[in-house]
Structure 1
Amino acid sequence: GFTCTNPGYAWRLLSNSVCLKLDSPKRQWFYRGLEPGVHYLPIKEDFSNLVETLQYLIKHDDYAYQIAMQGREWAKKNLVDEELLHYYCSQVLLKYASLQTFKPKLTSEEIKTISSNSEYAKLKNIRPFNPHGFFSKDNAVALSFLINKFQCKTVVELGSWLGSSTRYIATCLPEGGLIYAIDHWKGNEEHYDPNRTAINALLPTLYEQFLSNCIHTKLTHKIIPKRMTSLYAAEVLTIKADLIMIGSGIKRQIKVIRFKTQ
Structure 2
Amino acid sequence: MMELPIDIHTVKGFLSDDEGAALYAMALDCAPLGPCLEVGSYCGKSSVYLGVACQKAGGLLYAVDHHRGSEEHQLGEEYHDPELYDEAIAKMDSFRVFRSTMDVAQLNDTVVPIVASSAMAAKYWSTPLSMVFIDGGHSEEAAQTDYRSWVGHIMQGGILAIHDIFPDPAEGGQAPYHIYQQALASGLFEELPMVNTLALLKRL
Which range, TM-score by smaller chain? 0.5 to 0.7
* CA-CA distance at 1:208 after TM superposition: 1.3
**Quick check: which one's strand share is greater?**
2
CA offset at residue 246 of structure 1? Answer: 0.4
Tell me the distance in 2 between the aligned counterparts of 1:196 and 1:143. Answer: 26
The answer for the alignment partner of 1:49 in structure 2 is none
Structure 1, residues 149-171: CA drift from partner, whole Å, max 9, x if none?
Answer: 44544111111000100011111
Distance in 1, Cα, partners of 2:126 & 2:119: 13
After superposition, the Cα gap between the structure-2 partners of 1:255 and 1:211, relative to the gap in structure 1 and judged at 3 Å, is closer
1:144 aligns with 2:24: yes
Deviates further, 217-226 or 243-252: 243-252
Q: Is the CA contact (8 Å cut-off) linking 1:178 and 1:223 kept in structure 2?
A: yes
Amino acid at match of 1:202: L
Task: Choose from 126, 129, 146 the match for 1:238.
Answer: 126
162 and 234 in structure 1: CA distance in 2 versus 1, 3 angstrom threshold: same
- 2:148 aligns with 256
1:176 to 58, 63, 83: 58
**Partner Cα separation in structure 1 for residue 135 and residue 101 of structure 2:** 18
The unaligned stretches of length 5 or more in structure 2 are 1-5, 87-92, 156-204
Is contact 1:192–1:200 with CA below 8 Å preserved after alignment?
Answer: no
Q: Let me know the Cα RMSD of the aligned residues.
A: 2.4
Residue of structure 2 in register with 1:83 after alignment: 8
Residues 69-101 of structure 1: CA deviation (Å, up to 9, x unaligned):
xxxxxxxxxxxx9423xx4xxxxxxxxxxxxxx
Where relative contact order (Cα < 8 A, 6+ residues apart) is larger, the structure is 2
Shift of residue 201, structure 1, vs aligned partner: 2.8
Say which is worse superposed, 154-163 or 189-198, in terms of deviation.
Answer: 189-198
Contact 2:31–2:60 under 8 Å retained in 1? no
**Residues 65 and 118 in structure 2, CA contact (< 8 A), matched pair in contact too:** yes
Q: 1:223 to 1:208 in 2, by over 3 A?
A: same
AA matched with 1:162: C
The CA distance in 1 between the partners of 2:77 and 2:27, in whole Å, is 38
- After TM superposition, give the deviation of residue 235 of structure 1 in Å: 0.8
Q: 1:217 aligns with which of 105, 111, 120?
A: 105
Larger radius of gyration: 1
Deviates more, 1:223-232 or 1:204-213: 204-213
Give the alignment partner of residue 132 of structure 1, picking from 6, 9, 12: 12
Q: 1:127 matched to which residue of 2?
A: none
Equivalent pairs counted in the alignment come to 137
CA deviation after TM superposition for structure 1 residue 148, in Å = 3.7
- Closer, same or farther: CA 209–255 of 1 in aligned 2, 3 Å: closer
Normalized against structure 2, the TM-score is what? 0.59
Q: Structure 2 vs 1, CA of residues 197 and 165 (structure 1 numbering), >3 Å: closer, same or farther?
A: closer
Deviation, structure 1 residue 140: 1.5
Please tell me whether the aligned partners of residues 36 and 129 of structure 2 are also in contact (alpha carbons under 8 angstroms): yes
Structure 1-normalised TM-score?
0.47
Query: Any gaps of 5 or more consecutive residues in structure 1?
Result: 1-80, 88-130
Give 1:232 shift: 1.1
**Identity within the alignment, %:** 24
Distance 2:52 2:60 in 1: 10
Distance 1:165 1:145 in 2: 12
